[in-house]
């Protein structure tokens, strides 16, 4: 935002200088033509600065959106891990959780299909979860 403000201040300053130059030249002729050309150049520069400012604002908005999605995914992952950890039958150290754009991926191993289903259900029940990919492998008890 500071960059855009600086561009606007610079553009306004150039317009004021151009206006003062135009006021001093009351005679028509090459100087007046030069002043008009200068005014047009200032206008074009102002438009280019405005476009640049808009592009910067657009990029900042995109980055903000990406950051918000990453934060939301991190929150979902933490909630899923907490829910799994709270379930006493699950061996939580053998279950990994990853979230990308609301899609939760469970990986690792469990000792029964029932525990795999429980982990999937716990994850699916949480707000913000769009889908659960259950990649848990059922290993026989030792």
DSSP codes of every residue in 16-51: HHHHHHHHH--S-SHHHHHHHHHHHHHHHHHHHHHH
Give just the sign of the alpha carbon dihedral 96, 98, 104, 105.
negative
Nearby residues of 119 by Cβ (< 8 Å), 6 or more positions away:
84, 87, 90, 95, 106, 110, 134, 136
* Proportion of the chain above pLDDT 90, given as a percent: 30
Q: Is the pTM of this model over 0.75?
A: no
Rank 25-39, 47-61, 104-118 by mean pLDDT and report only the highest: 104-118
Under CATH, what is the fold of the domain 69-138?
3.30.1340
- Domains of the chain, by residue range, sit at 2-67, 69-138
Kind of pairing between the strands at 103-110 and 131-138: parallel
User: Can you read off the two tokens belonging to residue 8?
Assistant: 């606007």
Q: What are phi and psi of 122, to 5 degrees?
A: -60, -45
Q: Does position 21 have pLDDT exceeding 80, yes or no?
A: no
Q: Does position 28 have pLDDT exceeding 60, yes or no?
A: no
pLDDT of residue 58: 83
Q: Does position 129 have pLDDT exceeding 80, yes or no?
A: yes
Q: Does position 108 have pLDDT exceeding 70, yes or no?
A: yes
pLDDT of residue 46: 77
Per-residue pLDDT, averaged over 25-53, amounts to 73
């Amino acid at each position: 935002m500071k960059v855009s403000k600086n561009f606007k201040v610079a553009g306004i300053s150039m317009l004021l200088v151009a206006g003062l130059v135009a006021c001093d030249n009351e005679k028509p002729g090459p100087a007046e033509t030069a002043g008009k050309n200068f005014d047009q150049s200032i206008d074009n520069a102002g438009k280019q600065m405005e476009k640049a400012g808009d592009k910067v604002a657009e990029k900042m908005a995109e980055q903000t959106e990406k950051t918000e999605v990453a934060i939301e995914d991190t929150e979902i992952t933490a909630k899923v891990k907490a829910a799994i950890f709270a379930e006493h039958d699950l061996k939580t150290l053998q279950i990994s959780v990853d979230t990308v754009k609301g899609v939760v991926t469970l990986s690792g191993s469990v000792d029964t299909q029932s525990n795999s289903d429980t982990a999937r259900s716990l994850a699916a029940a949480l707000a913000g979860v769009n889908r659960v990919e259950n990649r848990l492998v059922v290993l026989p008890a030792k």
